[in-house]
Amino acid sequence: MAIVNGYKQNENENSLDILNLDQLEKQAKEIIPTGGFGYISGGSEDEWTLRANRQAFTHKQIVPRALTNIEKPELDTNVFGLPLKTPVFMVPAAAQGLAHVKGEVDTAKGVAAVGGLMAQSTYSSTSIADTAAAGNGAPQFFQLYMSDDWDFNEALLDEAKAAGVKGIILTVDATVDGYREADIINNFQFPIPMANLTKYSEGDGQGKGIAEIYASAAQKIGPDDIARIADYTDLPVIVKGIESPEDALYAIGAGAAGIYVSNHGGRQLNGGPASFDVLEDVAKAVNGKVPIIFDSGVRRGSDVFKALASGADLVGIGRPVIYGLALGGAEGVQSVFEHLDHELEIIMQLAGTKTIEDVKKAKLLNLHY
Ligand SMILES: Cc1cc2nc3c(=O)[nH]c(=O)nc-3n(C[C@H](O)[C@H](O)[C@H](O)COP(=O)(O)O)c2cc1C
C-alpha cells in the first residue's frame, strides 16, 4: 500500500475472478479510501439519472434467434479506421491514481492486452506520454476539458498528437461540476497531482475539490469552439456529452468527426434521461454521417449488444474498469474487459449475430415493462 498525502493507494497486480461487473463495486469499496470511492462511484443530486442509466436497458429487448447457423461470434471491429478486437472501450476518467498507485499507466496496459481502445482524461494522474507509452502502440484517444486559456488547450493537443494519440474527445457536458453529495459529505479534495495540470499553467490539482478543478475549464462552449479545435488539430474530434439530436447536428455542422452520447455516468445533470434512452434518437439524427460512441450504465454483454443495435459503434465502460484497476492493476483491468467480452459473445450467439456489423443491424423490441 503506497501512501500519498495521507491517501492510501492500492498496489494489487493480479487477475480477477469476476461473476459480474456490478459485484466489483462492492469489492472495490472495501479497498478504495472513502473519499476516492465516493468520487468514483457517486452521481449528482439524488442519483436518479445514475439509476436510470441501468434501468433504461430494460426498455428494449433482444430477439433470440436460433436457426441462423452461426457459431463463435467475433468481436473485431473497425472504428475511425482503427482495427479493434472489441467494441467495448475504456472511457476517459479522471484521477485513476485514486484507485491504484500506477493509475492510467496500468489501465492502458490492461486495455492494450485485450486489443481495445482507451481514452485518457485531461485530469489523469499520469501524463499523456507515459499513458500512451504504456499502451505500447494500442490505440488511445485524448479527452480535452477545454480551458479559456487556448495556450493550455493547444499545448495538450500538441502533446497528445506527439504521443501518437488517434483522436480527440472534447467533453462538453461538464461546464460546471454536477452537485455530487458524496464529495461534499467526504469533503473530498484530490490528494494526488494531475500530471497534465502540473506540467502546464494551472497548478497541479492536488488539494483542490472538484468544483475548483472544473473552474479552470471553460463554462461557455459552442459550435465555434468545436470548429476551432477541429481546425487546430488534424486528429478526428469527437464531441462527448451529447444527449439531444439538436446538439449532435450542431456538433457535426461545426466539424465533429464523431458523436459521443453520454450523460457522464449520471454525474452531471440529474433529472435528465438515461443515456441509452436517447441513443436511438441521436443516431437517427446523425444518420450514419459520423461514428457514434456511447456510454453510461453499461454493465452487461446484453447492454453492449443493445447499444450497438441502437446506433452505437463503440461502447464505453467507466467505473467497473476503475474498480478492476483497484482490485488487480493492469491484470484486473484486463479481467474486466475479458469478462464483458465473454458475456457479449454469449448474447451474440443466442441472438444469431456472428459479427459486430450483424449486431448493429439487429432489430430490438420496444416493449416497456
Ligand atoms: C471517476 C470518474 C471520473 C470521470 N472523469 C471524466 C473525465 O475526466 N472526462 C470525461 O469526459 N468524463 C469523465 N467521466 C465520465 C466517463 O467518461 C463516462 O461518461 C462514465 O464513467 C460512464 O458511465 P459508467 O461509469 O456508468 O460506465 C468520469 C467518470 C468517473 C466515474
Distance 226 CA to ligand 1 centre (A): 20
Quick: pLDDT tens for 246-288.
999 999 999 999 999 999 999 999 999 999 999 999 999 999 9
Residue 216 has pLDDT above 80, yes or no: no
Mean pLDDT of 321-327: 98
Q: For 95-104, 213-222, 303-312, which range has the lowest pLDDT when averaged over its residues? A: 213-222
Supply the residue whose CA is at minimum distance from atom 18 of ligand 1.
264
Name the active-site residue from 59, 100, 264, 342: 264
The band of 368, judged by pLDDT with boundaries at 50, 70 and 90, is low
Asked if 192 contacts 206 with a C-beta cutoff of 8 angstroms, the reply is: yes
Quick: pLDDT tens for 47-87.
999 999 999 999 999 999 999 999 999 999 999 999 999 99
The band of 327, judged by pLDDT with boundaries at 50, 70 and 90, is very high
> For residue 219, what is the enclosing H or E element?
none
Distance (Å, rounded) from C-alpha 223 to C-alpha 188? 33
Q: What pLDDT is stored for residue 183 in this prediction?
A: 96
Residue 369 has pLDDT above 70, yes or no: no
Quick: pLDDT tens for 26-44.
999 999 999 999 999 999 9
DSSP, collapsed to helix, strand or coil, labels residue 175 as coil
The mean of the pLDDT values for the chain is: 96
Lookup: cell for 281: 434518437
* Residue linked to cell 441462423: 68
Distance 26 CA to ligand 1 centre (A): 19
Mean pLDDT of 6-10: 96
Cβ of residue 167 lying under 6 Å from some atom of ligand 1: no
Mutating to test ligand 1, I would choose from 91, 259, 300 the residue with most ligand atoms within 8 A of its C-beta, which is: 91
Asked if 321 contacts 90 with a C-beta cutoff of 8 angstroms, the reply is: yes
Measure the CA angle with vertex 297, ends 300 and 308; round to 5°.
60
Quick: pLDDT tens for 135-178.
999 999 999 999 999 999 999 999 999 999 999 999 999 999 99
Cβ of residue 121 lying under 6 Å from some atom of ligand 1: yes
Lookup: cell for 71: 457459431
Cβ of residue 296 lying under 6 Å from some atom of ligand 1: yes
Distance 69 CA to ligand 1 centre (A): 39
- Alpha helix (H) ranges present in the chain? 21-31, 34-41, 48-55, 104-113, 128-135, 150-162, 181-185, 195-199, 210-215, 223-232, 245-253, 275-286, 301-309, 319-350, 356-361
Distance 318 CA to ligand 1 centre (A): 6
Cβ of residue 102 lying under 6 Å from some atom of ligand 1: no
Q: What pLDDT is stored for residue 201 in this prediction?
A: 58
Measure the CA angle with vertex 78, ends 77 and 81; round to 5°.
170
368 has catalytic annotation: no
Distance 145 CA to ligand 1 centre (A): 12
Residue 317 has pLDDT above 90, yes or no: yes
Distance 171 CA to ligand 1 centre (A): 10
DSSP, collapsed to helix, strand or coil, labels residue 32 as coil
Supply the residue whose CA is at minimum distance from atom 15 of ligand 1.
264
Lookup: cell for 153: 488547450
Supply the residue whose CA is at minimum distance from atom 11 of ligand 1.
171
Q: How many CA atoms lie within 13 A of 293 on its CB side?
A: 32
Closest CA to 240 of 177, 161, 311, 295: 295
Cβ of residue 94 lying under 6 Å from some atom of ligand 1: yes
Instruction: Give the torsion sign (CA, 295, 123, 227, 118).
Output: negative
Phi, psi (rounded to 5 degrees) for 275: -60, -40
Distance (Å, rounded) from C-alpha 310 to C-alpha 281? 9
Cβ of residue 107 lying under 6 Å from some atom of ligand 1: no
Mutating to test ligand 1, I would choose from 125, 210, 264 the residue with most ligand atoms within 8 A of its C-beta, which is: 264
Cβ of residue 300 lying under 6 Å from some atom of ligand 1: no
Closest CA to 317 of 73, 76, 53: 53
Q: What pLDDT is stored for residue 199 in this prediction?
A: 74
What string of DSSP letters covers 110-164? HHHHTT--EEE-TT-SS-HHHHHHHHTT--EEEEE--BS-HHHHHHHHHHHHHTT
Q: Please count the other Cβ atoms lying within 10 Å of the Cβ belonging to residue 369.
A: 6
